[in-house]
Structure 1
Amino acid sequence: MVGKLKKMDLGMLLILVVFMVISTLLVHSATSGNSEYANYDVKTVIFYIIGFIVAMVATMIDYRILLKGWIYLYGIGIVLLVVVYLTAPEINGAKSWFVLPGGLQFQPAEMVKIILIITIAFLMGRRQGDPLLIRKDLLVIAVFSFVPFMLVMIQPDLGNAIIYLVIVLGMLWIGNVKYTHVLIGLAIIIAGLVLFVFLFNTYNKQIYTYLHDHNKTHWFERINGFIDPKNASEKEVYQAEKAKIAIGSGGLTGDGYMKGDSKNRRFIPYPYSDSIFVVIGEEFGFQGAAVVLMLYFLLVYRMIIIAFQCYDTRGSFIIIGIVTMYVFQVFQNIGMMIGLMPITGITLPFVSYGGTSLLLNMLCIGLVFSVKAHQEKYELDN
């Protein structure tokens, strides 16, 4: 077991320690002066310590055990998504969280991202590098992906639903899909997006009325504020507009740590969570944002190197799925703060406050280390 721990990537561990320091400082700044969020910085350190332990435990567990039990993991994930929708209280317009003792919250949709990656890795791994077939592979993957996608959409949790879709596309891209199938898939996605925007604009009032009657206008307001900001209400564009103003005010070097004017005057919703990149841009400017982005690049780079070194393609698929998830979450979170993407509530990995997301992200890191630690050639036939 100790030998497996020695195979943990020291470069990645160092990057994560730096992220811990950055996250703690930013959460402290974002919550200072607000008694409602007292000790969130301390909790961040505690979650990180637990997260490193989770990563170590995951490293020692052979990832192929998870691949063998993929169907059971998938079933557990689906059951949790159904139960949370039927029984959980509505928080921020969505029924996505179990409320645990002590005020802690658990979001099954976060865990299902890992389960979906394992499921697709197993399904693609059956081909052993041969091109994926439409009936035997692509349609099966589509079905297993569509079920959690829809269960998360109806919560509604648009952010995680989009992540599921991106994970599937990213893993298929490196799964030896024929180019004709890629072109067909892209055509379907583009056509679907165009149709969605057309119908959304055409029946805008009817959609809003229906959702308003069912008390589910949360996702409508976010999409409407992105598609048609000029005609959207102040509420629909408030977070995006305030975020852009705050980031722009930071300039090259920022206003200084804990001196962000928009943050201190509480113009920014959820500065410790969804909008934590605004704190980076306002207080540390372009230079601070560039440092954070470089850390993400180095982290992803190390994971891709490990994926290339795998003898087992299923391990490579797992790592690429995790890489895809991280890259999109970073792009989405920063993109929605600068007006490139709609507001979806996706947090910034390893930086935003949140126990569930951080622990599951560290579990993903542990999976990457597990893939690296269990690649001995003689083990592959066992």
Structure 2
Amino acid sequence: MLSKLRNVDWIIVVILLIFMGISVALIHSGVAAWPKFQGYGKRMVFYYLLGFICFFGMFLVDYRLLLKYHWFILAVGVFLLVIVIFIGGTLNGAKGWIKIPRVDLNIQPAELFKLVLIISLSAVIGQKSKIALTFWRDIVPLSLFALIPFGIVMAQNDIGNALSYIVILFGILWIGNLKYTHTILLLLVIAASLYIGIKSYITFHEQITTYLESTNKQHWLDRIDPWLLPDLASSDASYHTQNALIAIASGGMLGDGYMQGAYVQSGFVPYTYSDSIIVVVAEEFGFIGVSVLVLLYFILIYRLIITALECKRREGPILIVGIISMFLYQIFENIGMFIGLMPLTGITLPFISFGGSSLLINMVSIGLVISIQLYGRQEEELPFVGYKKVDM
């Protein structure tokens, strides 16, 4: 036990503690204008304590056990995605939450499935030899791991988590020895799909608007119009992003000071404790504050990469790249949607935004990386782990 603790990357633990302090302080400032959300800072402390318990518990478990039972984990993950459609609650427009009343915690299976997807893809690719992945035997079947859940989660009005599955899939395929020709092909397909989709949305906006309103799905307009067609967006739809942009710009280089941001403290920016928490950073601490936060993310990801490079087993780096892909997408999407680069999706800022479900998944993910650090240097198989590498 003590020998394992000595091998833990304590720089990562320190970064997590710093994130905890930053998160609680920002949430406290973000809810100051919203009386009904008072106390969220204290609840975030509880979530972090629970998260650290999960973190330490996770890294004490040999990650290869998760790989052995990845089919069972995948089945449970898909089951939760489906069952939440019938029994789940709706929160912020997304129907996909299971409430745990005694601990006042909402669990989102779509959030959990990101880690499930990473484990399953890593287990399957890790069993293959190091030859390049083939298109029909490898890429197409593996893509179904992400595309089927993608469709299920899109039906729950959660485009943010749904898109993360595609990013994770591409990251893991890439580290799993994707051919350059297939890489270029996939990038071209993604680029072409984005171009055609955006062009079609702009060209046929009136018809799309009529259809979405007739099917009671106008929430998609509220997410996409402020991004692609801000002049045509309704005042309600553009209220969030416009005020966020003004608040970010008003922060300047050094910011207005802690709990001194005019837009945040006046309640003009919604969800400043969760999705919009980067606006609190920008308005109250300015460009310097945002840069420091991004630097902390950079250090964390750098330490994850170091762990991947030190791992002697094939599955370890694949798992870590999947986790890095998940974090990078969330960071880019969350910051990008408030500066006009990305559509508004409701993705939280990792380790900073309020939310027990997302925080616990992130903490378990980092615990999994530490487990890889502790056990991934061992080249031998566990005696009770029965899968073998196969050539495909």
Instruction: Pick the TM interval, shorter chain.
Output: over 0.9
Inter-CA distance 378–195: structure 2 relative to 1 (3 Å threshold):
closer
Q: Is the 8 A contact 2:121 2:142 kept in 1?
A: yes
Where do 1:137-156 residues align within 5 Å?
137-156=138-157
Q: Is the 8 A contact 2:313 2:379 kept in 1?
A: no
Q: Is the 8 A contact 1:93 1:216 kept in 2?
A: no
In the alignment, does 2:242 pair up with 1:241?
Answer: yes
- Offset from partner CA, 1:267-313 (integer Å, 9 cap, x none): 10100000000000000011111110110000000000000001111
Q: What is the identity, as a one-letter code, of the residue corresponding to 2:328?
A: V
Q: Distance in 2 between matches of 1:87 and 1:124?
A: 34
Q: Is the 8 A contact 1:84 1:97 kept in 2?
A: yes
Q: Distance in 2 between matches of 1:204 and 1:2?
A: 62
Q: Is the 8 A contact 1:5 1:56 kept in 2?
A: no
What corresponds to 2:166 in structure 1?
165
Where do 1:348-363 residues align within 5 Å?
348-363=349-364
Deviation at 1:178, TM superposition (A): 0.7
What corresponds to 1:250 in structure 2?
251
Q: Is the 8 A contact 2:90 2:96 kept in 1?
A: yes
Q: Distance in 2 between matches of 1:79 and 1:211?
A: 29
Deviation at 1:157, TM superposition (A): 0.6
What corresponds to 1:61 in structure 2?
61
Could you tell me the TM-score, scaled by structure 2's length?
0.94
Q: Distance in 1 between matches of 2:122 and 2:169?
A: 10
Deviation at 1:70, TM superposition (A): 0.8
What corresponds to 1:14 in structure 2?
14
- What SS does the corresponding residue of 1:105 show, helix, strand or coil? strand
Deviation at 1:136, TM superposition (A): 1.8
Q: Is the 8 A contact 1:7 1:369 kept in 2?
A: no
What corresponds to 2:318 in structure 1?
317
Where do 1:279-358 residues align within 5 Å?
279-358=280-359
- Offset from partner CA, 1:22-59 (integer Å, 9 cap, x none): 00100011112432112111111111111111111000
Q: Distance in 1 between matches of 2:129 and 2:311?
A: 13
Number of aligned residue pairs: give it.
382
Q: Is the 8 A contact 1:98 1:106 kept in 2?
A: yes
What corresponds to 1:39 in structure 2?
39
Where do 1:98-137 residues align within 5 Å?
98-102=98-102, 103-137=104-138
Deviation at 1:381, TM superposition (A): 6.3
- What SS does the corresponding residue of 1:331 show, helix, strand or coil? helix
What corresponds to 1:273 in structure 2?
274
Q: Is the 8 A contact 1:256 1:284 kept in 2?
A: yes
Q: Distance in 1 between matches of 2:200 and 2:377?
A: 53
What corresponds to 1:86 in structure 2?
86
- Offset from partner CA, 1:306-339 (integer Å, 9 cap, x none): 0000111111100111011111111111111111
- What SS does the corresponding residue of 1:90 show, helix, strand or coil? strand
In the alignment, does 2:195 pair up with 1:213?
Answer: no
Q: Is the 8 A contact 1:5 1:59 kept in 2?
A: no
Deviation at 1:218, TM superposition (A): 1.5
Deviation at 1:238, TM superposition (A): 1.6
Could you tell me the TM-score, scaled by structure 1's length?
0.96
RMSD: 1.4
- What SS does the corresponding residue of 2:231 show, helix, strand or coil? coil
In the alignment, does 2:371 pair up with 1:374?
Answer: no
Q: Is the 8 A contact 2:226 2:233 kept in 1?
A: yes
What corresponds to 1:26 in structure 2?
26
Q: What is the identity, as a one-letter code, of the residue corresponding to 1:81?
A: L
Q: Distance in 2 between matches of 1:33 and 1:221?
A: 24
Q: What is the identity, as a one-letter code, of the residue corresponding to 2:35?
A: S
Deviation at 1:206, TM superposition (A): 2.9
Q: Distance in 2 between matches of 1:236 and 1:378?
A: 54
Q: Is the 8 A contact 2:118 2:319 kept in 1?
A: yes
In structure 1, list runs of 5 or more residues that go unmatched: none
